[in-house]
Structure 1
Amino acid sequence: MMLDMVHDIQAAYRKLVDSMSRPGTISDLSDEAGKLEQVQGCLPATYIAALMLLDTEVTFKVVSEREAEVTHLLSQSTYAKDAQLEEADFIFILRDAAPGYLHSAMEAAKIGELTDPHSSATVIIETESVTCGTKLRLSGPGIQSTAKAEIHGTEAWIDIRAERNAEFPLGLDLIVTDTSHRILALPRTTQVVKEEI
């Protein structure tokens, strides 16, 4: 069975909206990912996120050792245009990106303007797992009191995200995808603190 570009992408999008509106909620894109043919260069959940989010009206940037290959794939699939990091509406930071690239990409990403806060970037980050790793405590809109999350990999993004999101409504929205086709969203309104062990 092949991925239905209308019904399956709409179903995946509803899951993403659920994760965005209730930060800490992990959505499973396994049903949609199982219908994909072999995807080269990025995780299936990342590719599905690209199909949901990219179109002819937006720009994107891929940060990866396989940047040219994945950029071509996303351009061909969505007709979105590749852009410089500082101008991109969506930034895809893949698992094979060199250490430090996540930090520098988040430093360079646009956070919008007070007259147009929606002109900010959404950063999509690939990781091994969104169910084990650095333990995080989340708070803010959409969360009763606090929620917990775990993300495998570097913790460097936590501080830079807090800096870039300090002047609400400006800031970056984050979407994290993993190797098990799961997705976790951290909107700019969500406060993220590393839990001390």
Structure 2
Amino acid sequence: MYKRGDESMRIDTVHDMQQVYRTLLQSMARPGSVASLQPITSKMDDAKGCYKTTWLIAMTLLDAEVTFHILGDPQGEVTSKISAYTFAQFTSIEKADYIFVLEDTSETEIIHDLSQCKIGDLRDPQLSATWIIENKLNQNPDQWSLTGPGIKGETKLPLLLTEEFLQARKGRTNEHPLGIDLIFTTKNAEIVCLPRTTSIHRKGEANWAMSQ
């Protein structure tokens, strides 16, 4: 039982968190694939302020050694909960190791902050931000295709993302090995990962400047 304060989450803090971590690794290795954490989220009470999947990822990735930032949490409710449970330190967008984007965050704010986050440097490219973004699956994913490591040929982008967002991502991933890694969560307990090495192009067209 994972229990603190007035919240009860009937999850195993060792076994279930290990399963979340393994799922994240597998999803990063297979960009664009849709994985489910429903067997774990079904044990949880309401996460209050964020998707259950977002909460699980925060509990898995954050600890006292890392920093985080949250967009779309004007009252600081989710920020306070995550700090209390993980002991991770809240910091500015420019310094955060992990950046959480909650459901109601405007695209304007997201795109602005994408330009501000850290992307590592040539000596330490791993010192970059990982984004965890609440999103929805696209039921007709025919506009964009993905190519790159972990993808055989190409695959569809199964998310509802705009060209403006993808252009902003391109601006932070066009100097390999620098960049950002993206983890998308849904209300239905799904996750989709887009590591910095994944290229995005319009379906049916040659790989274009979106990913270069």
* TM-score, normalised via structure 1 length: 0.93
Contact kept, 8 Å, 1:139 with 1:192, in 2: the verdict is yes
1:116 aligns with 124
Cα distance in 1 for partners of 2:162, 2:153 equals 26
Shift of 1:180: 0.7
Instruction: Pick from 24, 27, 31 the counterpart of residue 23 of structure 1.
Output: 31
1:52 correspondence with 2:60: yes
Cα distance in 1 for partners of 2:142, 2:86 equals 33
Shift of 1:163: 1.4
Instruction: Pick from 193, 197, 210 the counterpart of residue 185 of structure 1.
Output: 193
Please provide the CA RMSD for this pair: 1.8
Contact kept, 8 Å, 2:142 with 2:156, in 1: the verdict is no
Cα distance in 2 for partners of 1:156, 1:134 equals 17
Instruction: Pick from 141, 154, 160 the counterpart of residue 146 of structure 1.
Output: 154
Residue by residue over 1:32-69, the C-alpha shift from the partner in whole angstroms, topping out at 9 and shown as x without a partner, is 11111221111011111111111111100000144511
Question: Which of 58-67 and 139-148 deviates more?
Answer: 58-67
Shift of 1:95: 0.9
What are the ranges of 5 or more consecutive residues in structure 2 without an aligned counterpart? 2-9, 206-212
Contact kept, 8 Å, 2:125 with 2:177, in 1: the verdict is yes
Secondary structure of 1:40's match? coil
Shift of 1:196: 6.7
Contact kept, 8 Å, 2:138 with 2:160, in 1: the verdict is yes
Cα distance in 1 for partners of 2:176, 2:16 equals 34
Distance 1:23 1:99, change over 3 A: closer
Cα distance in 1 for partners of 2:135, 2:43 equals 21
Cα distance in 1 for partners of 2:141, 2:155 equals 15
1:1-197 alignment, distance < 5 Å:
2-66=10-74, 68-129=76-137, 131-132=139-140, 135-195=143-203
Contact kept, 8 Å, 1:134 with 1:151, in 2: the verdict is no
> Identity across aligned pairs (percent)?
39
Counterpart amino acid of residue 178 in structure 2 = L
Residue by residue over 1:169-197, the C-alpha shift from the partner in whole angstroms, topping out at 9 and shown as x without a partner, is 10000001011110000000111224379
Residue by residue over 1:84-122, the C-alpha shift from the partner in whole angstroms, topping out at 9 and shown as x without a partner, is 000000000111113311101211110001111010000
Residue by residue over 1:116-175, the C-alpha shift from the partner in whole angstroms, topping out at 9 and shown as x without a partner, is 101000011101325556742111111111111221254422111111100111000000
Shift of 1:24: 1.5
What are the ranges of 5 or more consecutive residues in structure 1 without an aligned counterpart? none
Contact kept, 8 Å, 2:17 with 2:60, in 1: the verdict is yes
**Highest Rg: 1 or 2?**
2
2:6 aligns with none
Count of residue pairs brought into register by the alignment: 197
Cα distance in 2 for partners of 1:86, 1:131 equals 34
